[in-house]
Amino acid sequence: MQDIDVIHLYLKGQASRCFNLLYERYGGKIYAKCLSMLGSEAEAQDAAQEVFTKVFLNLAKFNEKSKFSTWVYSITYNFCIDYIRRKKKEKAIFSDDIERAPDIEEDDIPDKVLLELNLEQLEKVLMSLQSTDRAILLMKYQDGMPIKAIAQHFNKTESAIKMQIKRAKERARKLRGEYTIEEPA
């Protein structure tokens, strides 16, 4: 049964069966993303429960303009970002300077700088980033979202998003001890 059919059934009153279906499909992934964002299993569990509750309380508002999974993960990332900001009192992530920056050229640092990290290195890189940057990397490299969609989610320009990704790669490269720019193949 497709997600949208499950949602329609849920809204018609078959709550228990539909809850179980959606929980099996998304419970683990919501938790996994919360754990990647928050770095703590206990916090990830609390966050995942709140996200799931939020998803179910707002199912009637899902407007089918995007995939259900995209909608669920958006709620997940937004919740985690807000949680981190409240907890750490993070300052605004996107400064006006970045917004006014000229369009950057295509990112010249290869993706493999991030993709070939081991798990421990990747966790260090993610935890060293601000919450929004973490979400951007997960959206791009884990969820496969295009830059345009990520920019729309955060209501920012594509250049701003590319800049954040490039900075994350630079941080990863420093972590691995690489100081020379690799020539693209």
Partner 1 sequence: MNAFDKMQEQNLETFEKGPRQQMRNELTGTLGTIRFLGSVADVYLNRMVDTFIGMAGGLNPKQEEPNPDDGGRSRSVRPTNEGYPNK
Among residues 8, 25, 43, 49, the one that binds partner 1 under rule CB under 8 A:
49
Q: Identify which of residues 93 and 122 has a Cβ nearer to partner 1 in the complex.
A: 122
The span from the CA of 58 to the CA of 47, in Å, is 16
Binders of partner 1: how many residues, by CB under 8 A? 32
Output the smallest distance, CB 143 to partner 1, in A. 9
CB 47 to partner 1: min, Å: 11
Report d(CA 83, CA 43) in Å as an integer. Answer: 10
Exposure string of 5-39, with b = 16+ CB inside 10 Å and e = fewer, is: ebbeebeeeeeeebeebbeeebeebbbebbbbbbe
170 is an interface residue for partner 1 by CB under 8 A: no
What distance in Å separates the CA atoms of residue 176 and residue 113, rounded to the nearest whole number? 9
Residues that bind partner 1 (CB under 8 A): 15, 19, 23, 27-29, 31-33, 35-36, 41, 45, 48-49, 52-53, 56-57, 114-119, 121-123, 137-138, 141-142
